[in-house]
Amino acid sequence: MGEFDFSIIIKSLPILWSGLLLSLQLFGIALAGGIFFGTLLALARLSSFKLLSYPAAGFVNLIRSIPFIMAIFWFYFLTPVLMQKLTGQQGEAVGPFTSAIVAFIMVESAYYSEIIRAGIQSVPRGQPWAAYALGLNYWQAMGFVVLPQAFRNMIPIMLTQAIILFQDTSLVYVVGLKDFLGAASKAGQLTGRIVELYIFVAIVFLVICFGASKLVKYIQVHMDPTRQRALKKDVTLNGPGWAPGGGI
């Protein structure tokens, strides 16, 4: 470690920053798209119409059964072949960023659909029945009664999946995108000091993911009435200066 050159990191900050922005952009779009289409898939899977539930279940099970990197490969390399057969045009059908976005949304929607489906099923059946009794139709009951409660129950696990999604953004290197990890690799090739840059990337990922996991734990504790009552009871018994896992 005596030969560790911090100046390489400083000199490479513009490249690393552009890569981090690309990773965050990909993360944000994939997260929003995954939750939106995941909600639609969850509703389709819970539908009593087999024409909706069966294809949705088949799509979710298929996507969840293949490696993430394979989904990126499929869309990036097979789409040009399909487009050529359909249109007769040569060349690349979609760019690497578009293919990565579509692949990420496709995969995340499958995973989020299972999370959302479990959240919907966690809402007591009396809630939609009460909504129907008040004159609401199915979509109104879902939008105003069931889904708000379901999403509240799902926040911790959805945030956990978001952490996994952020880590998976490094997989876009397979289609040539210069994300955070790809930018570090490129800068390392230019400077010949790739170890320092990889260590820096690992530290940044560690800080972001560890901080997000602590946020998930905080939210999980404060959203659980049972844990809140246990914390209040502990504070009452041990005094205001006591905190779980700590001293006075």
DSSP letter at 173 equals G
Query: What pLDDT score was predicted for residue 93?
Result: 56
Chunked into runs of 10 residues, the chain (248 residues) has average pLDDT values of 72 89 93 94 88 91 88 79 66 73 92 91 86 85 86 87 91 84 84 84 92 86 60 45 36
C-beta of residue 184 within 8 angstroms of C-beta of residue 176:
no
N- to C-terminal Cα separation, the chain: 38
Of the candidates 111, 97, 94, 96, the one whose C-alpha atom is nearest the C-alpha of residue 41 is 111
Q: How distant is the alpha carbon of residue 62 from its chain centre?
A: 18
User: What's the number of CA atoms in the CB half-sphere (13 Å) around residue 173?
Assistant: 13
Selected from 3.65.10.10, 1.20.150.20, 2.30.250.10, 1.10.3720.10, the CATH number assigned to the domain covering 6-237 reads 1.10.3720.10
Distance, CA of 98 to CA of 12 (rounded, Å): 26
Cα four-point dihedral sign 42, 43, 45, 51: negative
pLDDT of residue 148: 87
Say if CB 22 and CB 179 are below 8 A apart: yes
Any idea where the domains of the chain sit in the sequence? 6-237
Smallest CA-to-CA distance from 220 within 165, 179, 167, 160 is with 160
Buried b (16+ CB within 10 A) or exposed e, 96-129: bbebbbbbbbbbbbbbbbbbbbebbeebeeeebe
Alpha carbon distance 71, 30 (integer Å):
14
pLDDT in the model for residue 207: 94
Contact indicator for 110, 41 with CB cutoff of 8 Å: yes
**CA 130/CA 139 separation, integer angstroms:** 14
- Tracing tokens 């989020």 back to the chain, one arrives at 112
**Tokens coding 101:** 């976005």
Q: Residue 150: exposed, middle, or buried by beta-carbon count in 10 A (0-12, 13-18, 19+)? A: buried
**Within 10 A of 35 (CB to CB), how many other CB atoms are there?**
21
Q: What is the widest separation between alpha-carbon atoms in the chain? A: 76
Q: Specify the pTM.
A: 0.79
SS3 67: coil
